[in-house]
Structure 1
Amino acid sequence: MATINGANGVTDSRPIFFFDIDNCLYSKGCNIHDEMQKLINKFFVKHLDLTTEDAHMLHQKYYKEYGLAIEGLTRHHKIDPLEFNYEVDDALPLNEILKPDPKLRKLLESLDTTKVKPWLLTNAYVSHGKRVVKLLGVEDLFEGITYCDYGQLPLVCKPSQEMYAKAEKEAGAPSTESCYFVDDSHLNCKHAEARGWTVAHLVEAGTPIPRVPASRYLISSLHELPVHFPGIFKPQEVESV
Structure 2
Amino acid sequence: MPITAPITAATPSGAFERLLTIMDDLRTNCPWDKKQTLESLRHLTIEETYELSDAILGGDMQEIKKELGDIMLHLVFYSRIASETEDFNITDVLNGICDKLINRHPHIYSDTEVSDENDVKRNWEQIKLKEGNRSVLGGVPVSLPALVKASRIQEKARGVGFDWENKEQVWAKVEEELQEFKDEYNVIGEEKVDHEKAENEFGDLLFSLINFARFININPEDALEKTNRKFIKRFQYLEDKAAENGKKLHDMNLAEMDVFWEEAKKK
- TM-score class, shorter: under 0.3
TM-score by length of 1: 0.27
The higher-RCO structure (CA 8 Å, 6+ apart) is 1
**Which is richer in helix?**
2
Q: Which has the higher strand share?
A: 1
Instruction: Give the structure-2-normalised TM-score.
Output: 0.25
